A and B are shown apart, each in its own frame.
Chain A
Amino acid sequence: MKPAPPHPRWAPWFFVAPFLVLFGVFTLWPLAQSLVLALQQTFGPKLTVFVGLGNFEFLLRDPLFWHAVRNTALYTLGAVAIQLPGALGLALLLNRPGLRGRACFRLIFFAPSLVGLVFVGVMFTLLFQKHTGLINAGLHTLWRGWDPEFAWLDQHVMPSLIVASVWLYAGFNMIYFLAALQNVNRELLDAASIDGAGPWARFRHIVLPEIRPVAGFVVLLSVIGSFQLFELPWVLLNNSAGPDDRGLTIVMYLYQTGFLTGDLGYASAIGWVLGLLLAGVALVQTRLARAEEN
């Protein structure tokens, strides 16, 4: 057999060069630029003035930023506390042995995540309308005491967003949980049943510990995704943060600041703080997972 020709020393660099170039141009360079921008006050990219840490100082005492942080945290809490148990519940239902039409149900629950966020926003805008929206009209038909003018998108923006996101993502996260459940050791479950463990005991002492790594991963993904929330409220609230900025999220505030008022410097500062927040969340989650393993 003819031996493979020896590689010159620069051969590996040749192969990784496309990635390095793209990563440098589209990730590292913008990252460095955004750090420089965060230290400037701008009106568009042409007009800039160096302000040092001024943007970060203003951000710390900017009530609108903290309002956005509070809204985002509330949404994240709702999304994680409602969506993930919901997803796990769906996965447990679909994982029942002998369930007929499992593939069909899986498709039905997963289907919402196949459509885009913008579509979901438009659809829920119609569903949540006063008087004529399906939710208000339906509830009013079922119960005459229900106010057909119930202002989902005026007074109850965050609950509306959480409902929409549960509809969208519960099926998606269900797939992760279903995969994890199918890897739970059957022998352990059977042994526990023989020893008299009921369904709750089996779930708590066998299933939950077995799926914990996947659950941790799903929680982390959900938290990061929730902190990046933008399109759904933007469409749902008709290209705005809604009345009294009730739907203002961190990324929406970044967008408004950078692209509507032209202050790219302040928007970069918001972006860096968001990045640090997410890094902190990931760090805490990793620490917790490691402590759990130990």
Chain B
Amino acid sequence: MSSPRPLDFLTTGAWIVLALAVLSSAAYLAWPVPSRPGRQFWLFSPPNEQHYRAALGRWNAAQPNPADHANLTLIHFQALERRLVAAFTVDAPVADLVETESLMMARAFGAPLADIGFVDLTDRLRAEGLFDRINAPSFSVWTTRGRTFALPHDVHPCLLAYRADLVEAAGIDVSTIETWDDFRRVLGPLIRDLDGDGRPDRYLLNFWETNRDLVTVLLRQAGAQFFDADQRLELDTARNAHVLASLVSWIAGPGRFCVDAPEFTAGGDAMRLDGTVLCSILPDWQAGTWKNYLPGLGGKVKLMRLPAWEPGGRRTSVWGGTSLGITKAAPDFERSWALAKYLYLSPQVAESLFRATSIISPVKELWTLPFYHEPDPYFSGQKVGALYIAEAPHVPERRSSPHAAFVMDRMVTVLSALKARAVAQGQFDAPALLPEARRLLALAQRDLSVRIDRNVLAGSAP
């Protein structure tokens, strides 16, 4: 009996499967990966992408060498965040320039300074005088351990948008409002039960304890930093307790004047349109969003400075933030830097940005340009750019930390617990809630400190 040949047992079908496997593998391996010459630029903001397209068209037309062209790729916020984490932790491919959001950058700051995936721009910014030309608070959130890793895109000061049609029809003059107490007192009569069911159908302000962004905006307005200069937690302070206790009286009890009308939801927008909520804290970028997505409010709303926490206090806050970082993977830093400066410092791009999104540039020398001082029919003829610019130098500075998101979450939890306690005891007076607020803040600080200090590798490594 002859011995079997090694592959005799393979049937025709098996051969076909094997051939298909080999062919498809070969095709996959041989498939050319499309390469795009020039600088790769990733961003997450659709409005920014739209206006950059035109700006980069002009840039590319002026570059004779295709290697200097810029290619724009819009990536969803969370996908971009994941991609950056992959790039900075396992060296996955990444673009030359990346437009990041503040919490996204904060995560990158978790690594020791030398391992942060963006190029340290501090010396370059200093050498070119950009620390003087750009609004100082705008750098804070892109800076860690004294080093700055991105060029700020914006300032994002906050104003208060109010339904001028309803407020002025009631004969109310908002110029008499200086503090949040004034706000409650002056606008309070507008809280109404319109359908006779015993519940108010009109509230003064869009705010709720579950809205992490707004809780943070109001805490920052009062001067909360959450971290000290050495990156140690700083939650249990008299200022934070005062703000949180006051916020409880805004959302619960007989003095309640806030309602939950979340941003970017159909329900929240319906409440803004039908007048269930009269006022909203509005950063410049959201003014642009309103103009694009809430045309029904056109001509009915106006902007005013935020009421302060105390007489003479800060009349603005800050919400959000975007910047442009150059990754260490970028082969030619100088070309990427030139592109970054073109996008962020040129008057033409600043104008198209403002017209498309209402976002003001952080570059101080551009603030006198005429387009920032044009009346805006949407905001009842107010000069929206000028109003935001007036607040820009006063926006609070923010200390960046990889733990920022968790800290902000915890502040929401503290506010939630404080409200629950107030409701249970029927005690909504802010001063009476202060001791409980301090106790909850101390508890949160202790618990978060254990959690943060546990990981010796993250956070403040040199």
A residues sitting closer than 8 Å to B (CB atoms) are 4-8, 11, 41-49, 58, 63-64, 126, 129-133, 144, 147-149, 154, 239-245, 259-263, 266
* Chain A neighbourhood of B454, CB < 8 A: 41, 58
B1-40 to A contact mask, C-beta < 8 Å, 1/0: 0001110110000000000000000000000000000000
Query: Closest residue to A6 on the B side, CB-wise?
Result: B4
Q: How large is the interface on B (under 10, 10 to 19, 20 to 34, 35 or more residues)?
A: 35 or more
* Chain B neighbourhood of A149, CB < 8 A: 259-260
Q: Name the residue in A42, A46, A132, A147 with the highest tally of chain B Cβ atoms < 10 Å from its Cβ.
A: A132
**A126-B266 in contact given A44-B89, A47-B115 (Cβ < 8 Å):** yes
B residues sitting closer than 8 Å to A (CB atoms) are 4-6, 8-9, 78, 82, 85, 88-90, 107, 110-112, 115, 197, 199, 208-210, 212, 259-260, 265-267, 270-271, 276, 402-403, 405-406, 409, 412-413, 416-417, 447, 451, 454-458
Partner of A43, one of B4, B9, B267, B458: B458
**A263-B455 in contact given A5-B8, A129-B265 (Cβ < 8 Å):** yes
Query: Closest residue to B91 on the A side, CB-wise?
Result: A46
Q: Give, as a whole number of angstroms, the nearest-CB distance from A104 to chain B.
A: 32
**A11-B9 in contact given A261-B455, A263-B455 (Cβ < 8 Å):** yes
A8 & B456 in contact (Cβ 8 Å cutoff): no
B276 & A131 in contact (Cβ 8 Å cutoff): yes
Query: Closest residue to A62 on the B side, CB-wise?
Result: B451
**A243-B416 in contact given A44-B85, A44-B90, A261-B406 (Cβ < 8 Å):** yes
16 contacts between A and B (CB under 8 A): A5-B5, A41-B454, A43-B111, A44-B88, A44-B90, A45-B90, A48-B457, A58-B454, A63-B447, A131-B267, A239-B78, A244-B417, A261-B458, A262-B107, A262-B458, A263-B455
* Chain A neighbourhood of B90, CB < 8 A: 44-46
Query: Closest residue to B11 on the A side, CB-wise?
Result: A4
A11–B208 Cα distance when bound, in Å, is: 67
A154 & B210 in contact (Cβ 8 Å cutoff): yes
* Chain B neighbourhood of A263, CB < 8 A: 455, 458
A46 & B89 in contact (Cβ 8 Å cutoff): yes
Q: Give, as a whole number of angstroms, the nearest-CB distance from A145 to chain B.
A: 9
A5 & B9 in contact (Cβ 8 Å cutoff): yes
Q: A243-B416, A244-B417 are in contact. List 20 more A-B contacts (CB 8 A).
A: A8-B9, A11-B9, A41-B457, A43-B110, A43-B457, A44-B111, A46-B115, A47-B115, A47-B457, A58-B454, A132-B271, A144-B197, A239-B78, A240-B212, A240-B409, A244-B416, A245-B409, A260-B107, A261-B455, A262-B107
A129 & B458 in contact (Cβ 8 Å cutoff): no
A132 & B111 in contact (Cβ 8 Å cutoff): no
Q: Give, as a whole number of angstroms, the nearest-CB distance from B251 to chain A.
A: 11
A148–B447 Cα distance when bound, in Å, is: 35
* Chain B neighbourhood of A266, CB < 8 A: 455
A43–B267 Cα distance when bound, in Å, is: 40
* Chain A neighbourhood of B115, CB < 8 A: 46-47
B456 & A41 in contact (Cβ 8 Å cutoff): yes
